Every structure is written in C-alpha cells, then in structure tokens.
Amino acid sequence: MAELREATYTVAGDYQIHLKEAGSGPAVVFIHGSGPGASGASNFRQNIDAFVSAGYRVILPDMIGYGASSKPEGVDYPLQLFTDTLYDALRQHGVESAHLIGNSLGGGVAIQMTLDHPEFARRLVLMAPGAVAEQASYFTMPGIAKMVSGFGGPDFNLEEQRRLIANLLHPDYADRIPEELVAERFAVARTQPKDVLARMKTPNLGLRLHELDKPIFVMWGLNDEFCPESHARLFLDACPDVRTLTFARTGHWVQVERAAEFNAYAIDFLNADR
C-alpha cells in the first residue's frame, strides 16, 4: 500500500482532527461512515492505491469522534459538527478544492459540505449516503438497530466487533473480513464514547438535493441494511447532473465489497474533470 503521511489540526472547539494522505495531484477526500471503530484509513484501505496510481492526492480524515481524532463526551454530534470540523482541518491542510467521496454518514457530510461551500467541492461520489431522509426512519433499518444495540456494553470484544462489521456486508462477503481490520476498528471502538452514536443528529438533506449542481455519482448495494437503496431515486429526481449504479448481492460497503469495480467507475468519473 502507498505510504501514508499523517497530520493533526486543532479546529474550533479546541478539537483535534487527524488525517492521513498519500499521492499527489488533484485532491480526493474520502469521508468515512459511522459505526464503532470507523476511521478514514480502515474504511478505504482497498481504494487508496488505485486512486494514488491514477494520479490523485488521497486524503483520509478521521472525523470527530472517530479514528485518532478527538472524541468528546457529553456533547451532541450533529451533522454540522462533523462537517465544520472536517472543513476547517482540510483548509488548514492546504486543500482549496477537492473531489468528495463519502460513504453513509460521510456521504451526508459530503452533501452538507457542498451545500455550505460550493466553491470547495468539485465532483461527488456517494456510496449509500445518509442524511437524505428523516433521522428516525434510519433507526427502522435492521443494520442500524444491530449496530447501536451492540456497542459499548460489557461484552463488547473482538467477536462483537467482527459481528458489527459483518452487518455492513452481504453474507457472500462476510466470511472474508480481514482479522487486521477487526483489530484496527476494535482498537478505535474501545476509545469511543457512546455519545458518538447515541447523540448523533442528522437533518433531512433530501429536501435540499435540488441545490446540488455538481456532477454526482451515487453507488448503492441492493442489500444495504443501513441506508435503503430506494433513496438513490431521490438523487435522480432532484439533481441536475447525477448518475446512479446499484450492485446486486452487495451490502452497505460498496467500496469494500465491490472494490475493483468501485475504483474503476469512480476514477473514470473523476477523470472527466481533468
């Protein structure tokens, strides 16, 4: 894998946002999703080399509450907090504009950042993006119910971490979870307060999708148990420049379960901007 450089920035609220990067060229920011143990590098490890080889500067931030970034307790975690702290760190890192690639919560952050800073975002690649419906509707999804109930209790261990990762995947892929991924996410999860999930608050950005005038590529797994694949239609109905792709026998992690195809499709889409 490409050598990863690291940096940490102090942002508003005196929080620390950590990021890794590799390669050079146009900036591509990979924004990870939610869940116990999530981090930029662990969520996109199968995508880094392909984008670096294609001539992109790959930036892998850990959002607040995740990875090696600050994990405050006793506070709410609204989407705006994720967005503002990440944007602050990226600008301090010298990023003036970037393609945004976001999965799940990270997709919602990518949308919010584009709405807030349209001059910053270039093209969007969104994999099962969240925050495009009322928050309560997501808690009816079986994957989220399992994730919230299984995190932070006295029985939380490596096997529980493996189960939580398996929930993200179609059963065809679930028996191929690398042990190093389980260990990496477990190490992060042990440092996370329950507030990261229990006090997360997301708006319904589905009502604002028509404001997005950037080229957008939405990818979804048909068997996603976290964000319903039917939400892809929201983008098709609202956005002026969008294309969608659905993968059969695929869960919530298109970039992992269909890594080779995801890399090829996403890189080809970003290359059109060169």
> What pTM was estimated for this model as a whole?
0.97
Q: What percent of the chain has pLDDT over 70?
A: 97
Using CB atoms within 10 A of its CB, is residue 175 exposed (0-12), middle (13-18) or buried (19+)? exposed
Torsion of CA 178, 20, 258, 192, to 10 degrees: 60
Cα 262 from Cα 48, distance rounded (Å): 12
Element (H or E) spanning 5, and its range? strand 5-11
Which amino acids are annotated catalytic?
252
pLDDT at 236: 98
| CATH classification at residue 119 | 3.40.50.1820
Question: pLDDT tens digit string along 110-128?
Answer: 999 999 999 999 999 999 9
Range of the domain at 51: 5-271
Average pLDDT, the chain: 95
Average pLDDT over residues 83-90: 98
Question: pLDDT tens digit string along 186-205?
Answer: 999 999 999 999 999 999 99
Q: Dig out the tokens for 216 from the structure.
A: 């957008």
CB atoms within 10 A of CB 219: 26
Domains in the chain, number: 1
Give start and end residues of each alpha helix (H) in 23-120: 40-43, 48-53, 79-92, 105-116
CB atoms within 10 A of CB 75: 15
- Cβ within 8 Å of residue 137, ≥6 positions away: none
